[in-house]
Amino acid sequence: MDKHERKDYMGLISWNRIECGAPIPMFGSEIKTDSPVCIRICKAYISEYSTPTNFRVSGEHPSYIEIEMTPIQWAEFLTAGHVDDGVPCTITRIDGKRTSPVEMRNIAAEYNVHVQEKFDNFQGGIKDLEKTVQEALDSGKPMSKSQMKELLRAMQFVRSRTVGDIEYAYERFKEDMANVVVKSKAEVNAYAELRLRGLGVKCLMNDAADEPPALEDKNV
């Protein structure tokens, strides 16, 4: 058989935890992380056969695709199984080419813009009411009962719409902030668990390396 056999279905997959040094934004996460999990998939080929069932597989570099996940995304990926279309991840490289940087969402700023829009709508409604009242005053004629009822309905509409919109935005903001806090705690716990597991494996390897060889029983 060809000792450098290549097929389009051959691949290698690997993962490792990265230490970034400084927190970086990740797709699908409201908080930054400095310890993402990196998954790499490479195109592969069989570089050597010793027997038909014993062969060496080598990977082509750079990686075909490279993705990164926060610790909690990685944990969800391993434990959640099929969740809708999957777990969010950040694609960092495709065919060796770096993808565009992640744009970090600023939830507080987004809500500020949303609430400001509601205030602008409120201000516009008040200006329309002021214009209606000013026109009535300039006409010098008293407002009819039907006109006053129409003005009252307009005032009630502006008030209820504005109060309702702001209350809804406030409740959503509290929910989103609570979710961010929960996810932040989960990220910290997932990171700590990864670190502890890594340290545990290192300790076991060190203990095995330091274990003295078994003494031979000369009486046997």
* Widest pairwise Cα distance in the chain: 125
Amino acid at 12: L
Tell me whether strands 37-51 and 65-69 are parallel, antiparallel or unpaired.
antiparallel
Of residues 199 and 150, more confidence is placed in 150
Q: Domain spans of the chain?
A: 5-98, 107-207
pTM: 0.56
Q: How confident is the model at residue 220 (pLDDT cuts 50, 70, 90)?
A: very low
Residue 12 vs residue 188, higher pLDDT: 12
CA distance to 120, 154, 164, per residue, from 129 (Å): 14, 7, 19
Reduced to 3 states (helix: H, G, I; strand: E, B; else coil), residue 98 is: strand
- Which CATH architecture best describes the domain 107-207? Up-down Bundle (1.20)
Q: Is the pLDDT of residue 217 over 80?
A: no
